[in-house]
Amino acid sequence: MLRWIRQQLGFDPPHQSDTRTVYIANRFPQHGHYVPQRFADNRIISSKYTIWNFVPKNLFEQFRRIANFYFLIIFLVQLMIDTPTSPVTSGLPLFFVITVTAIKQGYEDWLRHKADNEVNGAPVFVVRSGSLVQTRSKNIRVGDIVRVAKDETFPADLVLLSSDRAEGTCHITTASLDGETNLKTHFAVPETAVSQSVSRLEALQAVVECQQPEADLYRFVGRITVTQQGEEIVRPLGPENLLLRGARLKNTKEIFGVAVYTGMESKMALNYKCKSQKRSAVEKSMNTFLIIYLGILLFEAILSTILKYAWQAEDRWNEPFYNQKTEQERNSSQILKFISDFLAFLVLYNFIIPISLYVTVEMQKFLGSFFIGWDLDLYHEESDQKAQVNTSDLNEELGQVEYVFTDKTGTLTENEMQFRECSINGIKYQEINGKLVPEGVMDDLPDGSIPCLIREEELFLKAVSLCHTVQISYDQIDGGFGDPFSLSHTGNGFTQMEYFASSPDEKALVEATKRMGVTFIGNNGEHMEIKTFGKSERYKLLHVLEFDADRRRMSVILETPSGEKVLFTKGAESAILPYTKSGELEKTRVHVDEFALKGLRTLVVACRHFSAEEYREVDRRLHEARTALQQREERLADVFSFIEQDLELLGATGVEDKLQDKVQETIEALRLAGIKVWVLTGDKHETAVSVSLSCGHFHRTMNILELVQQKSDNECAEQLRRLARRIKEDHVIQHGLVVDGASLSLALREHEKLFMEVCKNCSAVLCCRMAPLQKAKVVRLLKTSPEKPITLAIGDGANDVSMIQEAHVGIGIMGKEGRQAVRNSDYAIARFKFLAKLLLVHGHFYYIRIATLVQYFFYKNVCFITPQFLYQFFCLFSQQTLYDGVYLTLYNICFTSLPILVYSLFEQLVHPHVLQSKPALYRDISKNGMLSFKTFIYWTLLGFCHAFVFFFGSYILMGEDTTLMGNGQILRANRQLMFGNWTFGTLVFTVMVITVTLKLALETHFWTWMNHFVTWGSIAFYFIFSLFYGGIIWPFLHTQDMYFVFVQLLSSGSAWFAIIIIVTGCLFPDVLKKVLYRHLQPTNTQKSQLVETQQGSVSCLDSLCCVGPEGEEGPGVCVRLARLVERLMGRCAPPRADRCDLSLSSLCCHRIGYKLERDEAPALRD
């Protein structure tokens, strides 16, 4: 119970040693010296809160906000001392803000809990008590034997014990972990591989000793001790024996494995970052502004307190005849009185800190986030997936992004390779209708006929179909798995043959040769079989020379059916062409360059024929190198170099890694918007560079710099200095940087500053062979740099979770590699292309809306409280309020709240189509420009100016006019004073409500019926409420100072004259300034507004949901409206007009800038 409570509170029990001992099937030793180790359960937790820590943790996060903490202090002060206003005025809004925010954040975390429960409740099979038992994933314990079937993901980190294959091997994909879709082969030790049944596993006596959990996906050190007939057999365990959680079983019927790391101790979970509260740049600016306003508040309170005591230094003001002090007041401490007066002034002026700002911001973020999900431009029809918002706290951050960090596999690409072209013996070929046809020649063979291949073409296709490590899966009718060779001859022994490859290129090439007539049938470890146009050929597999990053090629040595020994090799052109002695070398090199310019992934294919003596020498050297105990890798490299020379060049292949739709256009749009794109991938160097070129991340004219295969700190530092010099020398040319994971580790260790200098001077950066935590480190490196840029990370797999959580904004792609990235992201979209609209349109709108909202709130609260401060000079700093208590409470809640809320939901400076077609407009709002200190000072000074005009304008225009002081009647002094006080305050308040509402109207560019309703409705509501509030005697009110005041005020012509003059005097300079600036110094956004107005806002159709009358199809209405637009404007493309997309922010689209003529009106009915 105690351990469970510790886990609920977020405390993990510490490990007692550096290693862990796992008893398979939990058969613990019976002797008394054994102390069981404690391990985590198998639950995955991506949520922030639990039921136990939600209240304290959420309250702590909320009271980190300065305004919330400030109002808590004010509320406590009002409870402790006698203040001019009631504690309810501060306590009620504070409670409302805290409650609304807690409900919103609790709901979002509940969604995370729900997603976690789906994963933790997934059914799994474990071996317990001699039988196979179904249980839930969260119930797996360390030591349990788990069964995993084909195409299932591993529920924990397992050490492979056995598979359905006699040799104990299985194939897996780790795309959700490291982004690689290729098949990886894993092995069981021979002593456990024979335990293929539950009964034999139950009888297995074995112990696994391994290191404690660590995040490195590619490192695992351990050993397994198997007891057989009283003898202990010890075998080493490495990464090839470990099946990681999140990986998927492929091409294998089933496996059994023992759980060694579970839950949050699995390597996948350790690569997650702790979920922390992300705070947007706007919120940080708000806190800064609040500190400044707190300073203004303290200054006003201290000044008022000092002036009060300075005024009361004279006896006649210290104790006037109408306000005699009591004996207790005369004898009280002056210091306590000073503090009490200071706190009273603090409470009187506290409304300058707008707590309702946080309520409005929370509502704006929550309601505004629905627009992303409702936008049909972000809906992916094929997968039936719409964009989703996991947290609405960062909406405006989408408009401030400066760096995008993207995964490659599954994010930029579709994970689908397609064969495009090849070069054979210096001649380029293309595949047309499954046939190999020379370039420029049409396929004139009838369908079904067998093409006649020349020797070079046939040898090339055979080399491609044999030089690989492809595995085959046969889907049989009876579900069995047998010998592929026997199946291949039965004709009806299987329904479908599927290839699985260690490289996606290999799979695409083998599938291409199959379509062209040379079909790879299978490999049983000793023989490889192909069918050449129906004729079966079996080759004996003698040796496989595996691919490695240094050689950049792989080879196989085969014995042909005629007994000849031949080597087939394929690899990068730089790894093959220097070792060839015959063949069309120059023509092939030209063709390879042409393929690369098309963005194709290229491989060069060659062969070598061995004489009997040559092969004997090759076989002897390979055997010696592979059995060497010392320097095995170096000796193998020497032997491979000896074998792979004097090659005969056969040709080259060009394979396209299919990009997602509109990736190149999206990256280009981001670049024009001033956003730098970094690609972070776990893939190989060549693959990553090829995709970067094909997707436009790297331009063909770009100078590509490399920081790869660095072995030491000194070597890395020297290479970085060389790159920095090259960038300075060629400063006119755009540069792109390629860096691999090992070199990155060296660069970040001691040369971080130099590395960052090189990166920032490059237009694009590509990081390959990256571990998940390295991706997060790169993001953190940019985040914490002196410029503090806003970062965004986007990916689709579990290997991207760390960088998604590290970046300011994390976006998950709803791809094929599980939902880990989506669950841990802030936003989720179905395709990379949607990122452009998410940032350039939604990000732009969210930022300008909330930036104006923040500045406007501070402005209207300065207008609200400054007259109260000025009034103290006229009432001897007696802490008399200028406004009635009801007006104090309702100013921010009712009278001025709805117009700014509606503005912040629907405002559009520029139409969405213009924002997408002109990405450079994104630069206008970058660097938090609309919340800069200069803009903040402008709004604050504007508020002070308007407040002075409100107060002194009312004072001067009112003067000694008795019509304002009592409708012309001569009243007694005291009654006249009180009546004049509330009348004057009401006049100031009336002018203020009208002015601040019309000021927002001047800032509004996009008018909807809701804007009109709340703008004019708020002013009307104020007048109606004031008439009712002051015109009726309310029995539940103790005092009613405002009785008949508003009616008397409106009955005076002077009052109406004062209202009109003061409102006009405040707003006319604003209008004049806007006109002058728009004509003399227009911004790019204002220029776009001008062009849009001149052309007419017909592009509203792009985001208008075309819904016809009942029973009529929407698209038909779109088509008719499109015809009308074409007739009127001549600029609306039918495909664009026919689209029926939804963007609620432009549903109320009433800005079409033309007038229908009489003869054009019927067009709507045509």
**Angstrom distance (rounded) from CA 139 to CA 123:** 10
**Angstrom distance (rounded) from CA 582 to CA 576:** 12
Burial of 973 (0-12, 13-18, 19+ CB in 10 A): exposed
Q: Going by DSSP bridges, is the β-strand pair 535-545/527-532 parallel, antiparallel, or unpaired?
A: antiparallel
Q: Is the dihedral of CA 868, 874, 880, 885 positive or negative?
A: negative
Please state, in angstroms and as integers, the Cα–Cα distance from residue 532 to each residue in 450, 462, 505, 517, 537, following that order: 10, 8, 21, 6, 7
Please say if 407 is a catalytic residue.
yes
Please state, in angstroms and as integers, the Cα–Cα distance from residue 909 to each residue in 70, 376, 1081, 1101, following that order: 34, 21, 17, 17
**Angstrom distance (rounded) from CA 888 to CA 689:** 63
**Angstrom distance (rounded) from CA 812 to CA 490:** 46
Catalytic residue among 109, 375, 407, 657: 407
Type of residue numbered 639: V
The contacts of residue 78 (CB under 8 Å, 6+ apart) are 85, 86, 87, 89, 90, 91, 347
Helix (H) / strand (E) element for 984: namely: helix 973-1003
Helix (H) / strand (E) element for 371: namely: helix 370-374
Nearest to 29 by CA among 196, 201, 221, 227: 227
Tell me if 993 sits within 8 A of 895, measured CB to CB: yes
Q: Is the dihedral of CA 854, 828, 278, 74 positive or negative?
A: positive
**Angstrom distance (rounded) from CA 461 to CA 161:** 39
Q: How would you list the strands of the sheet with 183-187, edge to edge?
A: 183-187, 169-173, 248-250
**Angstrom distance (rounded) from CA 793 to CA 781:** 13
Tokens of 461: 């296709």
Helix (H) / strand (E) element for 737: namely: strand 735-740
Tell me if 662 sits within 8 A of 668, measured CB to CB: no
Helix (H) / strand (E) element for 300: namely: helix 281-311
Please state, in angstroms and as integers, the Cα–Cα distance from residue 171 to each residue in 425, 540, 840, following that order: 36, 23, 43
Nearest to 406 by CA among 779, 780, 781, 687: 779
**Angstrom distance (rounded) from CA 836 to CA 729:** 34
1023 DSSP β-pair partners: none
Tokens of 44: 């995955």
Helix (H) / strand (E) element for 1123: namely: helix 1114-1129
- What 3 state SS string does 536-598 have? EEEEEEEEEECCCCCCCEEEEEEECCCCCEEEEEEECHHHHHHHEEECCHHHHHHHHHHHHHC
**Angstrom distance (rounded) from CA 867 to CA 990:** 13
Please state, in angstroms and as integers, the Cα–Cα distance from residue 306 to each residue in 74, 312, 342, 685, 965, following that order: 21, 10, 9, 71, 32
Tell me if 733 sits within 8 A of 765, measured CB to CB: no
End-to-end C-alpha distance for the chain, whole angstroms: 75
Place of tokens 């009785």: 1043
The count of other CB atoms within 10 Å of the CB of residue 1165 is: 6
Nearest to 595 by CA among 532, 682, 657, 537: 657
**Angstrom distance (rounded) from CA 888 to CA 865:** 10
Tokens of 204: 């297995």
State the catalytic residues. 407
